[in-house]
A and B are shown apart, each in its own frame.
Chain A
């Protein structure tokens, strides 16, 4: 039974569901399904529906309609709404016809004039909505009537004259009825418009501004975007695009009917929302608009074919609009709940039986109170010193949760200053050969601080893996690092699926979500060297110049990875079955290594790790505070040999003096302790340790860099 569970969780990609749903493009599944459904339905009813002639005609309509829907989608994306597109469409139609038929202008001038008229209408809307901040819905509803009235007045005067004249331009008819490469011209233009706007919305600055304004107007303003101008421009573009569609309509039919574009705004709005563009902005794409356009066009066309009366068909369209808006509103409101339910995907993991830790058991893990006597540095003055490190002048450095690196001045470590501000949450630190402080920053990546306090970004991304659904190129949680003798920086990224403060979710999953990454300062390249690790944490060079040790926190083990030499690329477990969760690893003066256990295993959680279903139910049904957590209230410091033999352990049973240990650093006969959630740094005198030994000198040689 358990073997079946193990195989299921090993090979069945359960986490994919949540990852796919967390992608914005997954919204497109529903409209895409609707397209297939509608096409299938009408194909079954009427096989002649997709004849070549009908398709050509449909594709011309589709071209015009989808341009209008794309325009609507752009405005929606920025949090607005443009109901005047139908009237602008009609106005463009009549403008083009007047220019061609009555004024006899060339096609290019006609096109320019038409687009300009559309952009002008859009500019009026944009001014009222963007700069004067009137409600988009009412404003465009009113401009819809105003423009429609203008069209009616023009029609009254010129309709007869227009229908009497026939423009003398082959190119004009080519626009309306011609084919290029077997496809209608307007269809090709529509495709060009769609592609261009797709690129603009997803890749260009303007498109990002649009999305930002739609997603959070005030945040966009606070970020320094020109919100009013961005909103204004969306309406200008919307007007111009609607006018472009009207231009093709004019070239295709050449008729100045009074019902041109009537109801187009509702159809376009229905299409845009049906495609998945959100009312209220921030969520939408060109692809969504096009999908929606296809569905609505087939729907309306088919209703005409079947012979449903105008009243009923508008009622049906209204019903569809209601339905899609309702779905949109509910989806937006509940999406994160669904995502919460499916994203967390626990996996099967079996740990060996826990080693003995009882006092007096003779085990190297036997409980004692050796950490109780630590003296404290900076108590109550610092927050979250995950790691501690010393420079050559014996000054102590630690990060805090505000994104600073704090420097305590030796030798008594009473006075301190902010050495540098990075941001994020700085975690592991290491000095390189030139005394630069290299820091892993949770949420930001790998940074370097030079001795004169200049902060430089080394890297914040790595190569994206080919088949990964979520974007794993960004560094979400760079954790700890060490530097090879040749200058290469090896660092761990604890998890690619969660942000730093959601580490408990990763613990719950206990899948290998983390990885080891190498940054090479010689050519600035970053690449992933080892994947699928269970929360890789502390990294420490083994001292042979070709391998390093690293801890897998949720795996309760310490591994050794060879990056050079004969065993290059191999990874072996050094300490397999720890009684707790290992964090940072550092060198000891006697040639061994220190490792901090940030928390201790418990039989209940160990058992739960073998029951992924239980943990899944736990994650979806009860509050995070009530979960089975890894116990991070009690921890200890261990010393182990390069071969993996654990020599001794130091505990603080009451947890009063130094409640949590995530890191320790030996420096001149003392051991200094850091803790992620502590407000202090601990200092413990070590019996028999070399009083002159410093990690910095030992690894990089004497003060002048000579070894």
Chain B
């Protein structure tokens, strides 16, 4: 049991007791499942342990993990961010297009980051101040951002990084001490977020408002600015994930927005054990969830399962995870909001 989860349990003695005596927490089960699957795939799938595959696996896991970290921060604060993938693709496209027009790549990346923060602040404003349910706001913002990307920012779906940017490609392809840089990035980000959520006041506030927004507000926590901050964090995570993606394939393909990556991210968060009711879970849940889902995705690709069938399987698993989540974390009618659907 993660200690963050223990802190956030409702002050219900009986439940707390039974949970504590229950050794196999969701996090642990998922971690064991991931390990078992790794061994299983190593033994049964011929190509699984090839270096090329492991690099692909690790890179995908890093991207998925970065996105999931962003989603986790929002979900802990009782929201959902469905705009992650759109923001990821379009922000990097902005940077690449600018770079191709002659701007220095570092500056272009900064502009891309600025774009992300701008979108996140607008989004956070819509959720926190206008009080649009996060799920609608992020869905609509995703389609607006994607529409801007396709219609205004770039003419093509795929935009290639200009040549001669080895330092950038190093992010996606290089390795330090034999471990890919993308994994370093993921690990570092995870550590920073862990410290942030666990040891800073604002991090604790995010748990508080995810647990019970009204109470948090009455307590005097500045809930609205913190909600905006959540979306900024998730936007920056999306930007990092985009950078890793772009660095590894030297381009950014906006069609990824139409794929089901965002559901993989949701799957990681829900399977990892971060309840959608908010206020529970942490970085460790994301790490184990990412490992499990990354493995599954990779194995399905190796097994040559078609894209549509993969979607079918993934969404069936996600549905199952939602059912389990609903049974484990029943929704609290006391703090459920109007329009919280």
Task: Please report A residues at the B interface, Cβ cutoff 8 Å.
Answer: 79-81, 128, 132-139, 141-143, 145-146, 148-150, 152-153, 156, 217-218, 266, 278-280, 309-319, 321-322, 325-326, 329-330, 332-333
Question: 18 A–B contact pairs at CB < 8 A?
Answer: A80-B341, A134-B323, A134-B325, A135-B276, A137-B341, A138-B266, A142-B263, A142-B319, A153-B309, A278-B339, A279-B136, A311-B151, A312-B152, A315-B143, A316-B147, A318-B147, A325-B133, A325-B136
- Among the listed stretches B10-18, B197-205, B310-318, which one makes contact with chain A, having 4 or more residues with CB under 8 Å of it? B310-318
| Residue of B150, B318, B341 touching A312 (CB-CB under 8 A) | B150
- Among the listed stretches B106-114, B164-172, B287-295, B330-338, which one makes contact with chain A, having 4 or more residues with CB under 8 Å of it? B330-338
Complex: how many Å from CA A150 to CA B140? 26
A326 contacts B130, C-beta separation under 8 Å:
yes
A-B complex: 10 closest residue pairs judged by Cβ atoms: A315-B147, A311-B150, A318-B143, A280-B339, A312-B151, A149-B312, A311-B151, A322-B140, A152-B308, A318-B140
A329 contacts B135, C-beta separation under 8 Å:
no
Interface: B131 (CB within 8 A): yes
Would you give the 0/1 interface string for B128-166, flagging 1 where the beta carbon is closer than 8 Å to chain A? 001111011101111111111111100000000000000
B338 contacts A332, C-beta separation under 8 Å:
yes
B133 contacts A279, C-beta separation under 8 Å:
yes
B76, chain A: closest CB distance, angstroms: 16
| Residue of A80, A139, A310 touching B150 (CB-CB under 8 A) | A310
Interface: B126 (CB within 8 A): yes
A138: chain B residues at CB < 8 Å are 80, 135, 266, 276, 322
Interface of A is mostly: helix
Give the interface residue-count category, chain B: 35 or more
| Residue of B131, B308, B316 touching A329 (CB-CB under 8 A) | B131
Contact (A279, B126) CB under 8 Å given A145-B311, A149-B309, A313-B147: no
Interface: B53 (CB within 8 A): no
Residue of B315, B318, B325 with highest tally of chain A CB at under 10 A: B315
Complex: how many Å from CA A400 to CA B266? 58
A133 contacts B326, C-beta separation under 8 Å:
yes
A280 contacts B338, C-beta separation under 8 Å:
yes
B308 contacts A156, C-beta separation under 8 Å:
yes
Contact (A322, B144) CB under 8 Å given A136-B341, A153-B308: yes
Residue of A142, A280, A314 with highest tally of chain B CB at under 10 A: A142
Interface: B260 (CB within 8 A): yes
Closest B residue, CB atoms, query A332:
B338
A330 contacts B130, C-beta separation under 8 Å:
yes
B218: chain A residues at CB < 8 Å are none
Complex: how many Å from CA A134 to CA B330? 9
B150, chain A: closest CB distance, angstroms: 3
Residue of B143, B309, B327 with highest tally of chain A CB at under 10 A: B143
A218: chain B residues at CB < 8 Å are 333
Complex: how many Å from CA A309 to CA B147? 9
Interface: B340 (CB within 8 A): yes
B145: chain A residues at CB < 8 Å are 315
A153: chain B residues at CB < 8 Å are 308-309, 312
A317 contacts B322, C-beta separation under 8 Å:
no
Closest A residue, CB atoms, query B254:
A311
A133: chain B residues at CB < 8 Å are 326, 330-331
B266: chain A residues at CB < 8 Å are 138
A266: chain B residues at CB < 8 Å are 139, 143
A279: chain B residues at CB < 8 Å are 133, 136, 339, 341
Complex: how many Å from CA A218 to CA B332? 12
A128: chain B residues at CB < 8 Å are 319, 322-323
| Residue of A79, A135, A145, A309 touching B151 (CB-CB under 8 A) | A309
B67, chain A: closest CB distance, angstroms: 17
Complex: how many Å from CA A135 to CA B79? 12
Complex: how many Å from CA A153 to CA B311? 11
B322 contacts A134, C-beta separation under 8 Å:
yes
B151 contacts A315, C-beta separation under 8 Å:
yes
Closest A residue, CB atoms, query B136:
A325
Complex: how many Å from CA A315 to CA B319? 28
A367, chain B: closest CB distance, angstroms: 51
Contact (A318, B141) CB under 8 Å given A133-B330, A311-B147: yes
A670, chain B: closest CB distance, angstroms: 54
Complex: how many Å from CA A149 to CA B305? 13
B193, chain A: closest CB distance, angstroms: 23
B338 contacts A317, C-beta separation under 8 Å:
no
Other than A325-B140, A329-B132, give 6 A-B pairs with Cβ distance below 8 A: A135-B331, A136-B341, A279-B341, A318-B142, A321-B140, A326-B126
A316: chain B residues at CB < 8 Å are 147
A149 contacts B338, C-beta separation under 8 Å:
no
A137: chain B residues at CB < 8 Å are 135, 341
Complex: how many Å from CA A134 to CA B340? 12
B329, chain A: closest CB distance, angstroms: 11
Contact (A315, B146) CB under 8 Å given A135-B341, A138-B276, A142-B319: yes
Closest A residue, CB atoms, query B313:
A149
Complex: how many Å from CA A81 to CA B135? 12
Complex: how many Å from CA A321 to CA B82? 15
| Residue of A135, A141, A149 touching B311 (CB-CB under 8 A) | A149
B338 contacts A132, C-beta separation under 8 Å:
no
Closest B residue, CB atoms, query A262:
B258
| Residue of B147, B326, B339, B340 touching A132 (CB-CB under 8 A) | B326
Residue of A81, A136, A278, A311 with highest tally of chain B CB at under 10 A: A311
B133: chain A residues at CB < 8 Å are 279, 325, 329
Closest A residue, CB atoms, query B143:
A318
Complex: how many Å from CA A136 to CA B336? 14
A318 contacts B322, C-beta separation under 8 Å:
no
Complex: how many Å from CA A457 to CA B137? 51
Closest B residue, CB atoms, query A263:
B143
A210, chain B: closest CB distance, angstroms: 15
Residue of A149, A152, A156 with highest tally of chain B CB at under 10 A: A149
A135: chain B residues at CB < 8 Å are 276, 322, 326, 331, 341
A81: chain B residues at CB < 8 Å are 341
Complex: how many Å from CA A132 to CA B330? 10
A314: chain B residues at CB < 8 Å are 143, 146-147
B163, chain A: closest CB distance, angstroms: 28
Residue of B141, B148, B312, B327 with highest tally of chain A CB at under 10 A: B312
Complex: how many Å from CA A79 to CA B139? 19
Complex: how many Å from CA A278 to CA B325? 27
| Residue of A145, A280, A329 touching B341 (CB-CB under 8 A) | A280
A236, chain B: closest CB distance, angstroms: 18
B144: chain A residues at CB < 8 Å are 315, 318-319, 322
A321, chain B: closest CB distance, angstroms: 5
Complex: how many Å from CA A142 to CA B264? 11
B217, chain A: closest CB distance, angstroms: 15
A146 contacts B319, C-beta separation under 8 Å:
yes
Complex: how many Å from CA A311 to CA B148? 7
| Residue of B132, B263, B276 touching A145 (CB-CB under 8 A) | B263
Closest B residue, CB atoms, query A326:
B130
Contact (A311, B132) CB under 8 Å given A80-B341, A332-B338: no
Would you give the 0/1 interface string for B243-263, flagging 1 where the beta carbon is closer than 8 Å to chain A? 000000000000000001001
B55, chain A: closest CB distance, angstroms: 29
Complex: how many Å from CA A137 to CA B263? 13
Closest B residue, CB atoms, query A282:
B338
Complex: how many Å from CA A322 to CA B131? 11
B231, chain A: closest CB distance, angstroms: 14
| Residue of A146, A312, A333 touching B315 (CB-CB under 8 A) | A146
A80: chain B residues at CB < 8 Å are 341
B168, chain A: closest CB distance, angstroms: 27
> Which residues, 196 to 249 on B, are CB-close (under 8 Å) to A?
none
